[in-house]
Amino acid sequence: MGKPNWMTIAQMNKEEAREFIEAIRWPDGPICPHCGENGAYTLKPKEGSKRPVRPGVYKCKECRKQFTVTIGTIFEGSRIPLNKWIMAIYLMCASKKGISAHQLHRQLGITYKSAWFMCHRIRYAMTQPPLVDKLAGIVEVDETYI
């Protein structure tokens, strides 16, 4: 998937959103958040099993723990679909004057409580490295090079 734009983000489903986040977080394949090893494999349900395995669940070959791409991120512990998270991040970053939780609630079709939760998690992520660091090199701001 190339660089997403407004239309591709708006049309993303849950599976595409998960694959997009995996490609950003793990460009060279999945890395275990528990032990840091890159030897992980996708879990697949056994034939005849009554318990299906969610898409995107991996198991580390070293520590044998299961994990997904959301472990250790702002998405962890949230039941909100990843496509809504990506849309919320896009809207918050693309808005010149910011966006309220009420506006996110209306645009994403989620509850106000969920929108408020997402806003706080996204704002928190923006205060953590590397986003908190000053920009370096050639920076273009509103068609102006600084």
Residues 34 and 61 in one domain: yes
In a domain, 136, yes or no: no
Residues 21 and 31 in one domain: no
Q: What is the pLDDT of residue 5?
A: 65
Confidence of residue 85 (pLDDT cuts 50, 70, 90): very high
In a domain, 139, yes or no: no
DSSP codes, 62-74: TT--EE-TTTTST
Residues 21 and 33 in one domain: no
What's the whole-number average pLDDT of the chain?
A: 90
Residues 87 and 17 in one domain: yes
Point out the least confidently predicted range of 1-10, 59-68, 82-91, 101-110.
1-10
Q: What is the pLDDT of residue 46?
A: 81
The residue out of 38, 68, 98 marking a domain boundary is 68
Query: What's the domain count of the chain?
Result: 2
Decide: 82 and 75 in contact? Cβ < 8 Å: yes
Tokens of 8: 């591709």
Residues 120 and 89 in one domain: yes
Tokens of 134: 């000053």
Average of per-residue pLDDT across 90-108: 93
Confidence of residue 13 (pLDDT cuts 50, 70, 90): very high
Residues 46 and 118 in one domain: no
- Distances in Å between the Cα of 114 and the Cα atoms of 71, 79, 131, 134, 144 are 19, 9, 24, 31, 37
Residues 52 and 89 in one domain: no
Q: What is the pLDDT of residue 58?
A: 96
Residues 51 and 62 in one domain: yes
Three-state SS at 46 = coil
Residues 19 and 37 in one domain: no
pLDDT tens digits along 122-142: 999 999 988 888 888 888 777
Cross-strand pairs, 59: 41, 66
Share of the chain above pLDDT 70, in %: 93
Average of per-residue pLDDT across 95-109: 94
Residues 17 and 31 in one domain: no
Query: Domain containing 126: what range?
Result: 6-25+78-131
